């Protein structure tokens, strides 16, 4: 009886939190709390800190392979390329490190952030390209391999930093809510939303893939999938949209930037690690 009551409460809480943007009276933190409770119900034996491992936290056999591979990952030399990009001075003699506080260490956990002056979400990749532009260099293409390799290294300078996304002010909240709505909107021929799989069906299987929980997803991007293919978070959004037979948006589109803002907020408090291996 107690279990049924707890379940009903969790569903109600989740229901409240997932109301449409205009009807919502819960802020981002309440949304996050509701989701944490939701996942605690589904995964009573998985610690919050282990949500960063996603489906790997649900399967020791899979986690064992991850641990073996991460001991000396196949992408080690590719990461060196990213390091070289980060450290190579611009034509004007400056480096990427000059564009970020602390030389770029422990900053990635603050992205995406909402820029009130520009009235838009600013992702870490945006910050990289702003840096290039400010120093007279050509910008990198979003979602591309080059920016993936560069940010794989650049974000590794924030390893261990807790994700720390802020939603402050009406404009920021509006962007957050847009991301949240996109997350919950069904899409594609298969008519799934991100929420269908990663909230409602977390832990369940799609063929042989176990669905990861949403919390903890955004803390470890970009990734080297199959060990050697660099994929950015928005690159992954595209792949997931294609998987439900929807037409993906472009990397750095307003929809994906707002989605990344919302999604990353949900990983607040979890330590970053970039890059990582995934299958």
Partner 1 sequence: MAEAMKMRATMEGNVADVKVLIQHPMDTGTMKDSKTDKLIPAFFINQVVATLNGKTVLEAQWGVGIAKNPFLGFRVNGAKSGDKVAVNAVDNLGNKYDGEVVVA
Partner 2 sequence: MNQLRRSFLKSAGAIGSFTIIASILKPATAIAAAWNKLAFTSKEPADAISNAGYGGATESGDIMIKAPDIAENGAVVPVSATSNIPGTTSMAIFVEKNPAPLIADFKFSNGTEAYISTRVKMAKTSLVRVSVKANGKNYTNSREVKVTIGGCGG
Residues with a catalytic annotation lie at 240
Judged by CB under 8 A, the stretch of 9-17, 154-162, 227-235, 250-258 that binds partner 2 is 227-235
- State in angstroms the smallest separation of the CB of 211 from partner 2: 8
- State in angstroms the smallest separation of the CB of 80 from partner 1: 5
Instruction: Report what 76 binds from partner 2, partner 1, none; CB cut-off 5-8 Å by kind.
Output: partner 1
Instruction: Report what 208 binds from partner 1, partner 2, none; CB cut-off 5-8 Å by kind.
Output: partner 2
- State in angstroms the smallest separation of the CB of 238 from partner 1: 16
Interface positions, 124-143, toward partner 2 (CB under 8 A):
none
Instruction: Report what 239 binds from partner 1, partner 2, none; CB cut-off 5-8 Å by kind.
Output: partner 2
Interface positions, 51-110, toward partner 2 (CB under 8 A):
61-62, 64-66, 68-69, 74
Would you count residue 279 as binding partner 2 (CB under 8 A)? Answer: yes
Query: Judged by CB under 8 A, which of 139, 240, 249, 271 binds partner 2?
Result: 240
Which residue lies nearer to partner 2 by CB, 188 or 227?
Answer: 227
Alpha-carbon dihedral 110, 152, 278, 112, rounded to 10 degrees: 20
What are the CB-based long-range contacts (under 8 Å, 24+) for 133-140?
A: 134/99, 135/90, 135/91, 135/92, 135/94, 135/99, 136/90, 136/91, 136/92, 137/90, 137/91
Would you count residue 88 as binding partner 1 (CB under 8 A)? Answer: no
Instruction: Report what 81 binds from partner 2, partner 1, none; CB cut-off 5-8 Å by kind.
Output: partner 1
Interface positions, 54-73, toward partner 1 (CB under 8 A):
71-72
Query: Judged by CB under 8 A, which of 51, 53, 75, 114 binds partner 1?
Result: 75
Would you count residue 208 as binding partner 2 (CB under 8 A)? Answer: yes
Catalog residues that contact partner 1 under the rule CB under 8 A.
Answer: 71-72, 74-77, 80-81, 84, 227-228
């Amino acid at each position: 009886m107690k279990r049924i009551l707890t379940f009903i409460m969790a569903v109600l809480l989740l229901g409240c939190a997932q109301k449409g943007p205009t009807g919502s009276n819960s802020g981002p933190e309440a949304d996050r709390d509701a989701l944490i409770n939701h996942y605690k119900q589904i995964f009573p034996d998985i610690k919050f800190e282990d949500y960063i491992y996603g489906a790997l936290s649900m399967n020791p056999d899979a986690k064992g392979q991850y641990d073996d591979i991460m001991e000396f990952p196949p992408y080690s030399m590719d990461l060196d390329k990213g390091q070289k990009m980060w450290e190579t001075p611009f034509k004007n003699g400056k480096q990427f490190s000059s564009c970020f506080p602390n030389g770029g260490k422990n900053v990635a956990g603050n992205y995406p952030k909402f820029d009130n002056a520009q009235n838009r979400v600013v992702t870490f990749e945006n910050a990289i390209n702003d840096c290039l532009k400010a120093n007279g260099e050509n910008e990198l293409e979003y979602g591309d391999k080059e920016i993936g390799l560069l940010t794989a290294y650049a974000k590794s300078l924030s390893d261990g930093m807790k994700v720390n996304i802020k939603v402050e002010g009406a404009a920021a909240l509006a962007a957050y809510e847009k991301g949240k709505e996109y997350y919950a909107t069904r899409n594609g021929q298969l008519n799934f939303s991100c929420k269908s799989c990663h909230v409602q069906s977390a832990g369940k299987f799609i063929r042989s893939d176990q669905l990861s929980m949403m919390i903890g997803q955004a803390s470890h991007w970009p990734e080297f999938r199959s060990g050697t293919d660099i994929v950015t978070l928005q690159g992954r959004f595209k792949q997931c949209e294609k998987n439900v037979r929807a037409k993906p948006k472009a990397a750095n589109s307003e929809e994906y930037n707002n989605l990344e803002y919302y999604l990353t907020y949900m990983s607040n408090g979890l330590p970053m690690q970039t890059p990582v291996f995934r299958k």
